[in-house]
Structure 1
């Protein structure tokens, strides 16, 4: 009788021990997926000084740290970093907030000191720093920025009247062949170019944002490419 009781007890102890080992294994697996913690210590044109899990790393654009953090692009104002396909634009002193598991490509923008969201990007392959503007119906650039980007707005643009915070201005409507926010790409984008140096930063308007999925989490603006 004693032997018949000890066998079930031993089996129960074995199962309990197995469950404990499984829990430890799952916890270890979760820890392995934990994303590095990133903080921006200094910004330069083409590189950034980052603190990654307590270690300081100077990374040029395109470089990947031993922790798996890639600098997509960097300027004196922001750096676009990527971990496991997730991108986030960070300003000086900002800390990156990434999920714990890989997901689809996305760009995460942290609200800056002015309350806006900025992101490095490209216009027809040339670098630009966007200011997200949900109040703008279309992408808007100054004539100075359009000239720097090589856009033929004077010769190819169609004159239009544009209502701005500074009153009605004359603009030129053009089509941008290829536009990027981080690694998110949008093609054939209507844009307005205003003569002079207004707006100070190129504005990423709703005609682009409506072609992406967009949500906020606290002070984060998260943009994702729409699935075809």
Structure 2
């Protein structure tokens, strides 16, 4: 009975470690996994189909195990991702130089934030000069399985900002974010 429990424990431990091995070193995992597979001989060169890859459709955002997301640097050198602000999908850019999450009035309406002209009482410095802004609290900001509630944001007038910027008011609430080899890892 003890031997069976020990064998079962070892089997469960090994099975649980497979995703960790793959995540830490995919090449090692593939080498280990391919050791038990029989090799298939390749078709002659003239019979092989030519693979077609449309680079525009390759994902720039990978959902990893747990609450981790990896963003790939875009052609302009920015990290873009599909976020959900208050449950509504938006494409946004990570901006580590922005103190707060920032977006314009049109986006605010789209995500359910109601503002009046009197709310735009703050003068802030932007890359495009001085602009009027309103303060907002987001119910939630999500990317993949990462979810942060009660995120501070700033809403600018439409003419002052075109993009949605994910600033430090979101990033500082994560366990970790780092840039390495053209990718940004977000982890909660």
Distance 2:86 2:115 in 1: 14
Tell whether 2:135 aligns with 1:133: no
Which residue, out of 72, 94, 106, partners 1:144?
Answer: 106
Distance 2:30 2:61 in 1: 29
Q: Which has the higher strand share?
A: 1
Q: Paired residues, what number?
A: 143
Tell whether 2:138 aligns with 1:179: no
2:33 paired residue number = 31
Distance 1:150 1:142 in 2: 13
Of 146-155 and 197-206, the range deviating more from structure 2 = 146-155
The structure with higher relative contact order (CA 8 Å, sep 6+) is 2
1:220 paired residue number = 183
**TM-score (structure 2 length as normaliser):** 0.66
> Relative to 1, partners in 2 of residues 1:81 and 1:153: Cα closer, same or farther, differing over 3 Å?
same
Q: Which has the higher helix share?
A: 2
> Relative to 1, partners in 2 of residues 1:28 and 1:165: Cα closer, same or farther, differing over 3 Å?
closer
Distance 1:160 1:205 in 2: 18
Unaligned runs of 5+ in 2: 1-27, 35-51
- RMSD over aligned Cα atoms: 2.7
Which residue, out of 49, 54, 66, partners 1:41?
Answer: 54
**TM-score (structure 1 length as normaliser):** 0.55
2:86 paired residue number = 124
Return structure 1 stretches of 4+ with deviation > 6 angstroms. 26-29
Tell whether 2:154 aligns with 1:192: yes
Unaligned runs of 5+ in 1: 1-25, 33-38, 44-48, 51-77, 87-102
